[in-house]
Structure 1
Amino acid sequence: MKRASLVPEFTVPSPEKLPERWPGREVELDGLKAYVRDTPATAPGAEPAVYVHGLGGSSTNWTDLAGVLSGRLDGQAIDLPGFGHSAPARSYSLTAMAAHIIRWVEHSDRGPVHLFGNSMGGAAAVVAAALRPDLVRSLTLISPAMPFLDPRRSLQGPIVPLLLLPNAAKLAARRMSSMDPEALAAMVIESCYADPSRYPEQRRLEAIEEARLRHSVPWYAEAYVGSLRGLVSSFLRAYLPGEGSMWRLATKITAPTLVIAGRQDKLVDIRTAPQVARLVPDSRLMMLEGVGHVAQMEVPRTVARAVLGLLDELQAVHQHDTRQVATQVRDGVRQRAPQVRMAS
């Protein structure tokens, strides 16, 4: 593990105004409707990227970061099954979420990709990168929801026992329907941001619109509860013997990895990010003061500086390897050159 390197701040684009949400489209994936927002590159030579949101989020969580990185990355932000505009799934386990990411990369035929994951999406990205290293060029994890067992370290801790109830999804649906969209959006912002006053008004209005969408989707509560159950299950298995442990999977990741977390994260134990970075063989860590659970939304330019630092590092390694191979080929040709002897 090493510290993340940041490119100079002046080299990172600073849009004059917040970008609108990227346009989305429906894609049929294994017979189900999947939804993706394309964040097209603004410069030639851009490399493919896939962005994966967290529990209760959607592809819109990546609007600002993807915009800043569009000079280097040709991005696709996906809605996980049951969230945003994607259809529900038969399973919301973490393994199923990882399988969806893998299938998306295979279906889009753009791999290997620079894979980004936040919260639950980060945990699913860990599984995907461990199982299919051939599809992942680099991995960026932002507040990944990796296992921790102290419920006091998460605002969601008190509701975990309710997951044992067979009608938990109905209870969640009833609770959500009793809240107007503005109050629901405010609750999400309060839990995800270290400083909710940073939340731009444009993004607040978009969050309210997202909350209205959740009211209109009949399977949203089931997807939320099912995904939270899947996360808790992965937490418990992580401390049991066997190959299914999330921590063991982290050690199998071969992609260069950047781990980012906010020290004021209210949803994931902040001790997990350094532990992930210690276990992933080729990792970089950045802990951000005064930042909460969604650093890519709260401080997108700071996150972009670390991502661009990683991309520059990988580019330098590639150029060095290319020069080394060229030198080896040239030296090999010289060694094999025929020796011509002049007649006396």
Structure 2
Amino acid sequence: MQMQTFQAAQATLHVQKTGDGPPVVLIHGLSGSSRWWRRNIPALSREHQVFVLDLVGYGRAWRQRALSVQAASQLIADWLETEDLSDVTLIGHSMGGHIALRAAALAPERVDRLVLACASGLLKTSPTRAALKLPHAMMVGRPSFVPRIMADALRAGPLNLWHGASDLLRDSVHDLLPQISARTLVIWGARDVLVPVALGRTLAAAIPGAEYHEIPRAGHVVMVDAPETFNRLVLSFMKESEAV
């Protein structure tokens, strides 16, 4: 896997690249990292060029202050422009889905498809109340993944996590959704306790033509809890939308 960085406005985006074919960009969520896609990259990279991001303040880019959702979206849109990427599929989890939505709105000529996995953007709560749900969320998800969650959260640090959570909870995408032109797939874990399935259904209903799928027994980190089903849904969606 090739490593590269993109610098703009004193922020550095870390990017890993593998595979060949139409571009797919993976965007992790709050407290996450590029490692959260380990169970998805092999399947996606068989027929696609996969770019895996570490957002500013997280993962390999942890030595920086995290950006707001809107600033991170602009950075990704600028990176797509610099790399001259087109016919892009943006796949975002949780806050990464929130960022992907805004990036797609900023660069509609480059983003052709969106996959939103348990995306934030409509959640209305406080950072404290959201944090109180984390133990339950980890119990619902894949137990073997808990050490990775904890390690990445520690690496990001409490300030980045607090500022990130506060910002995403202030930033609603409600008015943006009807304007999304990218073909969209919304995937939710039926047992998601952080971003309830009702919000997933509302999100999908507000985006023109969006598909919606719920995966039974999967929690918030749906691409880790049910990787085979997640990969199958994503690959099928991309293949079907390419044929349109």
TM-score bracket relative to the smaller structure: 0.7 to 0.9
Code of the aligned partner of 2:169: V
3-state SS of paired residue (1:156): helix
What TM-score, normalized to structure 2? 0.88
Q: Give yes or no for the alignment of 1:73 onto 2:48.
A: yes
Q: 8 Å contact 1:140–1:257 — kept in the other structure?
A: yes
Q: 8 Å contact 1:155–1:191 — kept in the other structure?
A: no
- Structure 1 residue ranges without an equivalent (≥5): 1-21, 160-186, 239-245, 318-344
What is the aligned length? 243
Partner of 2:196: 269
> Using the alignment, how far apart are the partners of 2:146 and 2:123 within structure 1?
30
Partner of 2:78: 103
1:248 and 1:88, CA in 2 relative to 1: closer, same or farther beyond 3 A? same
Q: 8 Å contact 1:122–1:144 — kept in the other structure?
A: yes
> Using the alignment, how far apart are the partners of 1:155 and 1:57 within structure 2?
19
3-state SS of paired residue (1:122): helix
> Using the alignment, how far apart are the partners of 1:222 and 1:150 within structure 2?
19
1:57 and 1:130, CA in 2 relative to 1: closer, same or farther beyond 3 A? same
3-state SS of paired residue (1:64): coil
Partner of 2:161: 224
1:157 and 1:247, CA in 2 relative to 1: closer, same or farther beyond 3 A? same
Q: Which has the higher contact order (CA 8 A, sep 6+)?
A: 1
| Structure 2 counterparts to residues 182-221 of structure 1, below 5 A | 191-192=137-138, 194-197=140-143, 199=144, 207=148, 211=151, 215=154, 220-221=157-158
Q: 8 Å contact 1:93–1:229 — kept in the other structure?
A: no
3-state SS of paired residue (2:50): strand
3-state SS of paired residue (1:55): coil
- Structure 2 residue ranges without an equivalent (≥5): none
Q: Give yes or no for the alignment of 1:88 onto 2:64.
A: yes
1:193 and 1:50, CA in 2 relative to 1: closer, same or farther beyond 3 A? farther
Code of the aligned partner of 1:231: L
> Using the alignment, how far apart are the partners of 1:54 and 1:277 within structure 2?
19
Q: 8 Å contact 2:27–2:96 — kept in the other structure?
A: yes
Partner of 1:281: 208
Deviation at 1:109, TM superposition (A): 2.1
Partner of 2:117: 142
Code of the aligned partner of 1:121: G
Aligned-pair identity (%): 27
Code of the aligned partner of 2:200: A
Q: 8 Å contact 1:116–1:139 — kept in the other structure?
A: yes
Partner of 2:243: 316
What TM-score, normalized to structure 1? 0.64
3-state SS of paired residue (1:133): coil
Deviation at 1:303, TM superposition (A): 1.0
Q: 8 Å contact 1:129–1:255 — kept in the other structure?
A: yes
Larger strand percent? 2
The structure with the largest alpha-carbon Rg is: 1
